[in-house]
Amino acid sequence: MQKAVEKEDILELLHKIKSGDATPEEVFSRLRDEPFSDLGYANVDYHRALRQGVGEVIYGSGKTPLQIAGILTDMRANNARNVLVTRITGETAEFISNQKIEIIYHAVPKLGIALPGAEREKTGSIVVASGGTSDMAVCEEAAITAEVLGNNVTRVYDVGVAGIHRLLARYKILSGARVVIAVAGMEGALASVIGGLVGCPVIAVPTSVGYGANFGGLSALLTMLNSCASGVSVVNIDNGFGAGVIASLINKIATAAN
């Protein structure tokens, strides 16, 4: 029996009861199925999408290619689709593909979309802005995550404060967003500047890009945490995935309200 359960599945089951196409006992049996698979090295959560609106995501760093392939094989058997696999190398993606598991690999953010299925309808407007081209890997992790979750995403790259006219030239795009993800390393000032320009939530992502005193992204993190612009929140260093998920949740709430 399929374990992966989406909110849409629950609504469909309830409509089947209403129309007489299913009995309450049949629906109860479907919902009580064990909500995860115990693979020994991983417990794959199949009710996460029902609880949170976002299905299980595989964080690839620290896992062996064989473990990732094993998790994906179980997810495929349980009807999971468009599974994000973050922080994997091209070699790992190739190994997964050789196991007859379809995966679309994006080399810049080192991110794969496994078991691709029908795309979600895209709504709203999320803008991903970067301080520099060197921040692009984190930007693309955020952008692709948001797109897979069903959001319209516009990229505005290399608009850091060293040449602020580049950012101001994109003001129309920024002001039309429901959420802006501001990604920057070095001193991380981009998020504060954007926060002072727009009237929507800004999710700041510090990156580990920078010279020695950047301390692997700590300087950007502290700048963003101490932003004087209201409406700026901060995720962890290089956490493009987390920013993409949060932006999606905010964007979907705004879409539902309109």
Pairing of strands 43-45, 36-38: antiparallel
On the question of pLDDT at 35 being above 90, the answer is no
Statement: residue 240 has pLDDT above 60 = yes
Of all residues in the chain, the percent with pLDDT exceeding 90 is 73
* Cα–Cα distance measured from residue 174 to residue 69, given in angstroms and rounded to the nearest whole number: 39
Domains along the sequence of the chain with CATH = 7-114 (no CATH), 123-257 (3.40.50.1970)
Sorting pLDDT into bands at 50, 70 and 90, what band is 4?
A: low
Please give the pLDDT value at position 51: 74
Q: Residue 8 has what pLDDT?
A: 55
Tokens of 62: 């620290």
Coil, helix or strand at residue 60: coil
129/34: higher pLDDT: 129
User: Is pLDDT at 36 greater than 90 in this prediction?
Assistant: no
Return the minimum-mean-pLDDT range out of 28-32, 97-101, 151-155, 194-198. Answer: 28-32
- Residue 38's φ and ψ, nearest 5 degrees, are -95, 105
Instruction: Indicate if the pLDDT at residue 2 is higher than 90.
Output: no
97 pLDDT above the threshold of 80: yes
Note the residue count of the chain.
258
Query: Euclidean distance between the first and final Cα of the chain, in Å?
Result: 37
Q: Would you state the pLDDT for residue 257? A: 73
pLDDT tops 50 at residue 1: no
The per-residue pLDDT for range 120-135, each reduced to its tens digit, is 889 999 999 999 999 9
Collect all residues with Cβ–Cβ distance below 8 Å to 199 and sequence separation of at least 6: 175, 231
- For residue 173, give Cα distances in angstroms to 6, 167, 180, 242: 33, 10, 10, 23
Residue 159 has a pLDDT of 96
Whether 12 has a pLDDT exceeding 90, the answer reads: no
Pick 43 or 83 by higher pLDDT.
Answer: 83
- pLDDT of the residue at 47: 78
Task: Give the model's pLDDT for residue 113.
Answer: 97
Q: 3-class DSSP state for residue 35?
A: coil
Q: Which residue has the higher pLDDT, 38 or 96?
A: 96
